Structure 1
Amino acid sequence: MNAHRFILQPYKGIGSRHSCPACHKKRCFSRYIDTEKQITFPDDVGRCDHEQSCGYHLTPKEYFERNPQAKSLHCDFSTPSALRAKPTEPRKPTSFIAAETVSQTLHGYEKNNLFLFLRSNFGAEDALRLMKDYRVGTSKHWPGSCVFWQTDTDGNVRTGKVMLYNADTGKRVKEPFNHVTWVHSLLRLPDFNLRQCFFGEHLLPMNRGKPVAIVESEKTALVATYYLPEYVWLATGGKNGCFNADALRVLKGRQVILYPDIGATDQWQQKLSLLRKLCIEASLFNFLEEVATDHERTAGLDIADYLLQIEPDQAVLQAMIKKNPMLQKLIDDLQLTLVSVGRYDPDTDAINKTSTPSKQ
């Protein structure tokens, strides 16, 4: 009898291999299955075969640690039912990245593609402020890449996500592979016990009076902070990300608004029940999903793509609103005092702009 209840699905043809949720390559992702056929895991619980270029691996153990509400439905998850006599092991302490490692990355922004993109849109002073406030680092892993450090409310760094962006478009570099990896994986730290937190979480204690806005992308949190500083913008780092009871506890007593990417609204709608069970006042902004065009859905745009259209030309703004009423609704709902001239071009997957945005 197999001593492990949860195993990677054995290879049974190409139908047993799937697209990786991190690098998005096809037929390289093995999902975990329950040999007792009682539990069905989400599609992102598994391992990518591309260990060097991707390295994504979400185990059942990590899934249950992030989602204790799922674990509470069952009495044990480590072994088959015949072996469930062992006492519960104490919870392992959370591992952290050394402060010295983090500080070594908080410079060199002239070689950081994300900073160069923010600078071209917001100016050097505001771009640097955003990078410093959110403690975004510069990585040498790929030339031009950045590090999104996950710093908790106590100032401890849980891990860092290394990503590469195009300095001109601000889009992630996904060819010839998706350029994303994790610092704790690159450092090969022994017995590293990862418990993710929100990107930007360290800003909560110093902004107690502000409502919290949650998005998926770290870059989106930076862009949205520039336009809407009346919110504390946090990023989950993925569709599931930090949507678990352990990570969400830092939001107790806060007013929370979820801003899902187009295409993820239904999935995030389901997260509201978990937030409310934790007595967290939460709502969801779903207007983008309701009125998105086919091109915008295919591109998977989020609120940052629309905010980056904000420009100081009222005449062009009115022409854009006539073409895309979503912008007026977005401006009204978010009480923006800015105006816009950008236009999404589905052929280039970019926002075409004519001048630098400014806040009023």
Structure 2
Amino acid sequence: MNDSKYHLQKYAGMSTRHTCPQCGHKGEFTYYVDERNIPIDESCGRCNRERCGYHLAPSEYFKTHPGNKRNEFSTWKQPEPPTVNPVSYLPSSLLATDTHRDKNNLFRFMSKEFGNVEANRVFDLYHVGTSRHWRNNDGLSTTFPQINEKGKVCQLKVMAYNPNTGKRMKKQDRVEMWSDKVQKYVPDTRPMDRVWFAGKTLLKNYKANLQQTFFGCHLIKASSWIGIVESEKSALICSILIPEITWIATGGCNGCKWTDPTVFRPLTGKKVVLYPDSGMLEKWEGKADIMRSNQIDVTVSKTCEGLLNNWDIADVLLRERHAQKGMSIGDVMAYAKEIGVSRQITYNV
């Protein structure tokens, strides 16, 4: 049998990648097809997984199936190429001046902790807003827009906070949720933390293709030093306490798919420091390796290693700030050396 009459099927979306007959992995098997793009057999092809290594060439297949007429595939047709769903963005009107900021529970905490001037500065800088979606402690929830490097709004994340502690509301905490149906607040008894991605609802399109990005991504272009944390609130706090660095947030350990090269591409040419929460150092080291392999200059801070569960750099800074006279000179220099700005950095309290 002349194998030159056959070739591995060209990729045209996941409909042209199949289940491997040996390892059973879906979307990893490529058929051998003829000049009409018709497969020889479901077993004749190559697995793309190196660990599997399955490969049955046409010549080998026909040695054991000399009478094969390929009837099973006589009506087979080339799959239609997948429809490309264009990326959708939210209206820029979401970034309009917030007229309900004084009711925002996170702003209430931040203004009490840092004063109105600094709280307003970072809320304006990051376009943080207010939502009526949740109500608790006589205040409203907070919106964190994800704005890309071109200024387009990619997603809007809504979270509820305790105005006294600054902690986000968990599933066991009592909150009320606005109901459009009855046009009033009702108790939210759902067993879930108070976090909501509002983009598709705001667009009234649940098939919208929304591609998330870093919280604070719009600030990257004008900066040379970038600090990456997990929490949006922590990015705001760090922006107040160490303003020499531009702080952005992933929104979660795996939030916004931040190790996808299309997401972290705006960091090219920047000096980047990752600040993992306590207990997450190893995972974030692995994420840093992915970024380095794509030419991102990145280091990983060990500031929170060994601390209480879920502590992050903002918790450390606040703890030191609350200590009698703030951070010691040694602490300041250690932070400054770690991020490479020991000659420039000041500690702003």
Q: What's the TM-score, normalizing by structure 1?
A: 0.63
Q: How far 1:312 moved relative to its partner?
A: 7.9
* Equivalent in the alignment of 1:301: 311
Q: CA 1:260–1:125 in 2, change beyond 3 Å: closer, same or farther?
A: same
Letter in 1 for 2:274: L
1:279-301 CA-to-partner distances (Å, cap 9, x unmatched) read: 11111002321x32xxx12xx11
Q: How far 1:198 moved relative to its partner?
A: 0.6
Q: Match of 1:92, SS?
A: coil
1:72-95 CA-to-partner distances (Å, cap 9, x unmatched) read: 979xxxxxxx99943543643211
* Equivalent in the alignment of 2:32: none
Q: CA 1:257–1:333 in 2, change beyond 3 Å: closer, same or farther?
A: closer
Give, in whole Å, the separation in 1 of the partners of 2:166 and 2:218.
Answer: 24
Give, in whole Å, the separation in 2 of the partners of 1:97 and 1:126.
Answer: 28
1:2-55 CA-to-partner distances (Å, cap 9, x unmatched) read: xxx99xxxxxxxxxxxxxxxxxxxxxxxxxxx9985279xxxxxxxxxxxxxxx
Matched pairs, number: 257
Letter in 2 for 1:260: P
CA RMSD in angstroms comes to: 3.3
Aligned residue among 130, 136, 155 for 1:159: 155
CA contact 1:259–1:303 (8 Å) conserved in 2: yes
1:158-203 CA-to-partner distances (Å, cap 9, x unmatched) read: 0110001111111010024411101124334242101101100111
1:308-342 CA-to-partner distances (Å, cap 9, x unmatched) read: 12338656867xx9xxx98995577465754xxxx
CA contact 2:230–2:250 (8 Å) conserved in 1: yes
Aligned residue among 183, 189, 200 for 2:216: 200
CA contact 2:320–2:326 (8 Å) conserved in 1: no
Q: How far 1:205 moved relative to its partner?
A: 2.3
Tell which has more relative contact order, 1 or 2 (C-alpha 8 A, sep 6+). 1
Q: How far 1:103 moved relative to its partner?
A: 2.1
Q: CA 1:315–1:273 in 2, change beyond 3 Å: closer, same or farther?
A: closer
Aligned: 1:238 with 2:225: no
Q: CA 1:328–1:252 in 2, change beyond 3 Å: closer, same or farther?
A: closer
Aligned: 1:253 with 2:253: no
Q: CA 1:186–1:237 in 2, change beyond 3 Å: closer, same or farther?
A: same
Give, in whole Å, the separation in 1 of the partners of 2:125 and 2:248.
Answer: 12
Structure 1: unaligned runs, 5 residues or longer: 7-33, 41-71, 75-81, 339-357
Q: CA 1:94–1:309 in 2, change beyond 3 Å: closer, same or farther?
A: same
Letter in 2 for 1:192: A
* Equivalent in the alignment of 1:119: 111
Q: Which structure is larger by alpha-carbon Rg, 1 or 2? A: 2
Q: Match of 1:308, SS?
A: helix
CA contact 1:306–1:327 (8 Å) conserved in 2: no
1:68-126 CA-to-partner distances (Å, cap 9, x unmatched) read: xxxx979xxxxxxx99943543643211111223427x331100011111101110011
Aligned residue among 128, 131, 138 for 2:123: 131
Aligned residue among 87, 100, 115 for 1:108: 100
Aligned: 1:168 with 2:184: no
Give, in whole Å, the separation in 2 of the partners of 1:128 and 1:274.
Answer: 36
Aligned residue among 38, 51, 71 for 2:25: 38
CA contact 2:241–2:317 (8 Å) conserved in 1: yes
Letter in 2 for 1:120: K
* Equivalent in the alignment of 1:186: 201
Q: Match of 2:262, SS?
A: helix
CA contact 2:155–2:199 (8 Å) conserved in 1: yes
* Equivalent in the alignment of 2:241: 227
Q: Match of 1:149, SS?
A: strand
Q: Match of 2:133, SS?
A: coil
Q: What's the TM-score, normalizing by structure 2?
A: 0.65
With 170-179 and 219-228 compared, the bigger mean Cα shift is at: 170-179
Q: CA 1:286–1:301 in 2, change beyond 3 Å: closer, same or farther?
A: same
Q: Match of 1:195, SS?
A: coil
Q: CA 1:91–1:270 in 2, change beyond 3 Å: closer, same or farther?
A: farther
* Equivalent in the alignment of 2:134: 142
Q: CA 1:312–1:197 in 2, change beyond 3 Å: closer, same or farther?
A: closer
Q: How far 1:245 moved relative to its partner?
A: 1.2
Letter in 2 for 1:113: N
